[in-house]
Amino acid sequence: MGGGVIVATSTLVRPRPEEVDLETTARTILNRHPAVGLAIGIVRDGRPASFHGEGLADIASGTPVTENTVFRIASVTKTFTAIAVMQLRDRGLVDLDAPANEYLRAFKLAPASARFRPATLRHLLTHTAGIREALHVTDLLHLRNMGSTVAAGRRIPSPAELYGGALRIDADPGSRFMYTNHGFAALGQIVEDVSGQPLHRYFREHIFEPLGMSDTTLLLAEVPMARLATAYELRSRGPEKVSPYEVVPPAEGGINSTPSDMARYLAALLGNGANDHGSVLQPATLREMFAPSFQPDPRLPGIGLGFFRAN
């Protein structure tokens, strides 16, 4: 779950969609990064402009990758969690610079030192709350997945159960960048505790539905298995199927979506928080999220609120 949406700035002139050979582009990517299947597309002027699916969504059935194949979007989920937090901020329900413990009900953030300043929502959004990625020695076994998982169909433990009521802070908040899934688990819990809604319902009502993302869900049980891209590990003997699993906690990497729906999401990010279907943020709020909120050196692009930045 180590990825995320990157806000990039450039003065290069981009080719028009009709000038891009997506089939060639897809095969070039797969030559460098082998995979069973790949979906690639272009969004331009706020609308999906072109799409190409390469390879298979499932080997056994020979199902091809299409615009409607459901993929796990992994850490891009974090940007949805960040949008949910900013929606609550714009409604006056949370303050980004208030201690996160003021809003957490199910569990608390527990500093390792009494000298640490309180961790705020802004710290959590910028991976500067001082929370490690590997909380326990056994977590080192799961670093490849960048998160905990449970087999599909089994009960998903709540963050309160996962953390035993307290999530440890090991560095003074605001002092350093420490990428962590657990900080966004705390943000997801804040969305639930403040809104009074389960996270999957909040996402659906306040983000997915307004943007027309009808095939996007936080619940794997809602995904038709015939449309879900099968996960594989590439071994020396060829691809090996990975059994379906749920991401724990889901706020950091649990969303399932399609290329069509993600094109609608990207259109909204490029369209000041709105696409042809509706709006999820005010333009000023989205600009605030894209701006550097933690920037240890002015020569670095820094990190926004839930979004990485790059030049």
Residue 90, CA distances (Å) to 96, 279, 286 in order? 10, 14, 11
> Two tokens at 290?
């894209």
In contact, 202 and 192? CB cutoff 8 Å: yes
Residue 215, CA distances (Å) to 27, 129, 212, 261 in order? 27, 33, 9, 7
Residue 139: per-residue pLDDT: 56
CA-to-CA distance for 46 and 50, rounded, in angstroms?
12
DSSP strand pairing (238-242 vs 71-72): unpaired
From 84, 294, 300, select the one nearest 184 (Cα to Cα).
Answer: 84
Contacts 24+ apart (CB under 8 A), 92-97: 93/194, 93/195, 94/121, 94/190, 94/194, 95/121, 96/120, 96/121, 96/122, 96/125, 96/305, 97/121, 97/122
- Whose tokens are 């070039």? That residue is 28
SS (H, E, C) 129-186: CCCCCCCCHHHHHHCCCCCEEEECCCCCCCHHHHHCCEEEECCCCCCCCCCCHHHHHH
Mean pLDDT of successive 10-residue stretches along the chain, which has 311 residues: 42 59 93 95 88 96 97 96 98 98 97 97 98 69 59 86 94 96 97 97 98 96 94 94 88 96 96 96 98 94 95 80
Residue 69: per-residue pLDDT: 98
Residue 16: per-residue pLDDT: 64
The H or E element spanning position 50 is strand 47-58
Contacts 24+ apart (CB under 8 A), 219-223: 220/152, 220/244, 220/246, 220/254, 220/256, 221/152, 221/153, 223/70, 223/256
Sequence-distant (≥ 6) Cβ neighbours of residue 123 within 8 angstroms = 100, 129, 130, 173, 174, 183
The model's pTM is 0.91
Peptide linkage before 239 cis (omega within 30 of 0): no
Displacement of CA 280 from its chain's centroid (Å)? 16
> Two tokens at 63?
């199902």
Contacts 24+ apart (CB under 8 A), 53-57: 53/259, 54/23, 54/26, 54/27, 54/30, 55/30, 57/227, 57/228, 57/229, 57/230
φ, ψ of residue 180 to 5 degrees: the values are -155, 135
Using DSSP, state whether 44 is helix, strand or coil.
strand
